[in-house]
């Protein structure tokens, strides 16, 4: 059974940085796509950043130039480096892995940015 475990969330001041990690229980080679989503209270999850197996990336407009997604296949881990954080980045962040026909989700990690 595949498990994705996020870590690295916390409280940071505006302008600060955090790095989120998503560790998979098995090889991430088998995931066609891995991504970070975030969810605000009462809202649906929204895509923050995604990375294909071959390394292509995409970002939400709101985080372009501030966030960077990367994957370390040797460590079976996907990262989200978040710089220049803003209060509006406060949310629960989730890792997602796509291995057709299934999607896998982590449990989420809270990121809080104080003004």
Gap between the Cα atoms of 1 and 88, Å rounded? 34
The predicted-structure confidence for 24-82, as pLDDT tens digits, reads as follows 987 877 899 999 999 999 999 999 999 999 899 999 999 999 999 999 988 999 999 99
The pLDDT value given to residue 62 = 98
The pLDDT value given to residue 96 = 97
Phi, psi of 78 (to 5 degrees): -115, 140
The predicted-structure confidence for 7-28, as pLDDT tens digits, reads as follows 999 999 999 999 999 999 878 7
The pLDDT value given to residue 71 = 93
The pLDDT value given to residue 67 = 98
Phi, psi of 2 (to 5 degrees): -80, 135
User: Do the Cβ atoms of 69 and 51 come closer than 8 Å?
Assistant: yes
**Which tokens go with 5?**
């475990």
The pLDDT value given to residue 37 = 98
- DSSP classification of residue 25: S
């Amino acid at each position: 059974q595949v498990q994705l475990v996020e870590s690295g969330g916390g409280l940071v001041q505006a302008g600060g940085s955090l790095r989120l990690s998503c560790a998979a229980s098995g090889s991430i080679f088998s995931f066609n796509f891995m991504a970070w989503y975030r969810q605000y209270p009462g809202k649906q999850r929204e895509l923050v950043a995604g990375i294909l197996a071959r390394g292509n990336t995409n970002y939400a407009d709101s985080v372009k130039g501030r966030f960077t997604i990367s994957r370390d296949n040797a460590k079976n881990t996907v990262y989200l480096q978040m710089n220049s954080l803003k209060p509006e980045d406060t949310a629960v962040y989730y890792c997602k892995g796509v291995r057709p026909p299934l999607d896998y989700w982590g449990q989420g990690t809270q990121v809080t940015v104080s003004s």
